[in-house]
Structure 1
């Protein structure tokens, strides 16, 4: 993932989520309508966020009758980067320490733990087959 994408702010990520969920390019009017449900941002604020995202190289603006915006970075790519960044910052790069922290703070219920166990078992099987 691009270093520029690493600097997506929380507010910019809200705009990105709208673009990701749409699955197609959107005019600012559609982005604004969706954001009205969750924020009190003015149109000028939304335009500024979109301009910054374009400058960072994570959104493309295309002029038709109005500007249409589409993400150049997938949600999965961004989430992977953000997760790794969190692990690096808070747990010195140790995913095991993150999981231990979640277990210790009771953030995972029994169902979550069972799902993770199943994922680990699938991962073990994949490793043995290689």
Structure 2
């Protein structure tokens, strides 16, 4: 079996702020930007990697999610505890400087972790945790 990761999903509560962050600060390509019934899905991904994407979506759009669960998801997003993604770069310090200059909320500056990885953490406009590790 030969499987690849095609797309992962992260919630957004402000599509324009999320678009600006992922496109202008992270430098991702916009692959799709579509809406339906007042909601908006934005697909972004790193240049040169057309088969790997992140879909920024409205929180809890699954019809099986009830109103209580939807409120809980929105509360967890506000605290930054709902979703996260791990990115990698060969230039950790440059990536950190770019995100910090772009206004990302810094959670942790570049640090050598006890388990051997050097990384940092920021939050996107919706509160999603983004860890970036050096490779």
TM-score bracket for the superposition, by shorter chain length: under 0.3
Q: Which structure: greater strand fraction?
A: 2
Greater helix content:
1
Q: TM-score, normalised by structure 1?
A: 0.25
Please report the TM-score for the alignment, with normalisation by the length of structure 2: 0.25
Higher Cα Rg, which structure = 1
